[in-house]
Amino acid sequence: EACTHFAKWCSPTATEAEIKQTAEGLRHQMDADRSGTISFDEYCFRFGRKYQMERNRLRRAELASGPEEGLKQRTTKSDLEKEREALARERETLELEKERETLKREREALERERQAFRAQADVQAGGPPRPSAPPPEQPPLAVGARVKLQGLQGAAELNGRTGTILRFDTAAGRYVVEVDGGAGQKSLKGDNLVPQGTAGR
């Protein structure tokens, strides 16, 4: 464990595999005969000597490269930590978004079930009243047919007069009627025209 901590301190930006490899090498260097039977005092002595040698090496490297390089290494480590924190926050945000989407789908499914239940309950209770059938439409009037005018509001004086259908204005949805007695042509709705000879509505 001490070798692992030492390896991390020597190379802050190293990967876990590199740290493990460095720690193993350090352990083998302190136990040169690889017997694993050195005393605790001997182990501490070798570890302390290795620690001092490595610390002096790092100091010489920092002096040779200048304080900027050491600051750069520390800054790089800080940047890596910030990136890890940013990635962790991004993962948390994605997880929250997934949970919200799942809850939204569950709410929609629940609302559909409620609507289906209400519709089934309405059917069992007799359901809503059916809409009454629309009144039969008046058959279209042919061109040349004789008609009587009725129900006019803006030209009430023409009510009861007769005329002849000249054509049907599709755009306006009205019949063009030539009114008898010199009243001229009028554009009238079908509801205001009754075929000649039928009773007025």
Cα–Cα distance for residue pair 4/47, rounded to 1 Å? 12
- What is the residue whose two structure tokens read 């260097």? 29
Positions of E strands within the chain: 146-149, 162-169, 174-179, 184-188, 193-195
Say what the pLDDT of residue 18 is.
77
Per-residue pLDDT tens digits of the chain, which is 201 residues long: 667 776 666 666 778 887 787 777 766 665 555 555 556 566 666 666 776 777 777 777 767 765 555 555 556 667 788 888 888 888 888 888 889 888 888 999 999 999 888 888 877 776 555 555 555 455 578 888 999 999 988 888 899 999 999 999 988 889 999 999 888 899 999 889 998 854 344
Q: What are phi and psi of 166, to 5 degrees?
A: -95, -40
- Exposed e or buried b for every residue in 120-141, given b needs 16+ CB within 10 A? eeeeeeeeeeeeeeeeeeeeeb
Radius of gyration of the chain from its Cα atoms, rounded to whole angstroms: 49
Say what the pLDDT of residue 147 is.
93
- Stated as kind and residue range, the H or E segment containing 73 is helix 67-124
Cα atoms found within 13 Å of the Cα of residue 24, Cβ hemisphere only: 6
Say what the pLDDT of residue 198 is.
44
Tell me the C-alpha to C-alpha distance, in Å, between residue 150 and each of 66, 85, 174, 193: 108, 84, 15, 6
Cα–Cα distance for residue pair 29/21, rounded to 1 Å? 12
Q: Return the number of other C-beta atoms located less than 10 Å from residue 147's C-beta.
A: 23
Say what the pLDDT of residue 70 is.
53
- Stated as kind and residue range, the H or E segment containing 72 is helix 67-124
Q: Return the number of other C-beta atoms located less than 10 Å from residue 196's C-beta.
A: 12
Say what the pLDDT of residue 165 is.
93
pLDDT tens digit sequence for 113-141: 998 888 888 777 765 555 555 554 555 78
Say what the pLDDT of residue 80 is.
81
Give which of 163, 134, 147, 125 is closest to 198, Cα–Cα.
147
